[in-house]
Amino acid sequence: MVKDILASHEERMKKSIEALKHEFASLRAGRATPSLLDKVMVNYYGAPTPVNQIAKVTVPEPRMIMIQPWEKSILHDIEVAIMKSDLGLSPNSDGTAIRLSIPALTQERRQELVKTVNKKTEEAKVALRNIRRDGNEDIKKLEKAKEITEDESKRGQESMQKLVDKYVKLADAAKEVKEKEVMEV
């Protein structure tokens, strides 16, 4: 029973780390990656749709993203969505494709990004601690219902703490990688 609780809560912790890494992928670090456009939604036949589902997104050069829509009629809609996004990029269209030049980051912008990375990491750690709290409550309920002994409850809570420690380290490792990427010149 305790193992089931630990397994289900570990799965939630894995998802928290995956979500953190996904957040990091959408942060602009001076290098072009298709994932920068993950949060850009285009109004496509009345439904908000991610750019990568209505266009081919490629990176022909380290500081350029090229977007080739499947339908030429939505080229303007994609441009508008990019301009409205918080990416701070200006799309250049040649009538068939959109090119996004990724400018080099200023030192000030790098520091802002590092703060954002730290904030996202802290949010992930809070989520991990909330999962630990939920797991510990589930274990204590089993103990109150006399389904497990006090010793099993203690061991279960210690195992839950070890899981949290493991995933906090993973979050910190992801943060360090992203900070290094952001601070590269």
Q: Is the pTM of this model over 0.95?
A: no
Query: 30 pLDDT exceeds 70?
Result: no
Taking the domains of the chain in order of start, what are their residue ranges?
32-99, 105-182
Identify the CA nearest to 137 among candidates 167, 157, 158, 152.
Answer: 157
CATH class of 32-99: alpha beta
Task: Dump pLDDT digits (tens) for 120-139.
Answer: 999 999 999 999 999 999 99
Kindly tell me if the per-residue pLDDT of 76 is higher than 60.
yes
With a pLDDT cut of 90, the percent of the chain lying above it is: 38
Q: Which two tokens stand for residue 30?
A: 């001076």
Q: State the fold for domain 105-182.
A: Topoisomerase I; Chain A, domain 4 (1.10.132)
d(CA 98, CA 32): 14
Length of the chain in terms of residues written: 185
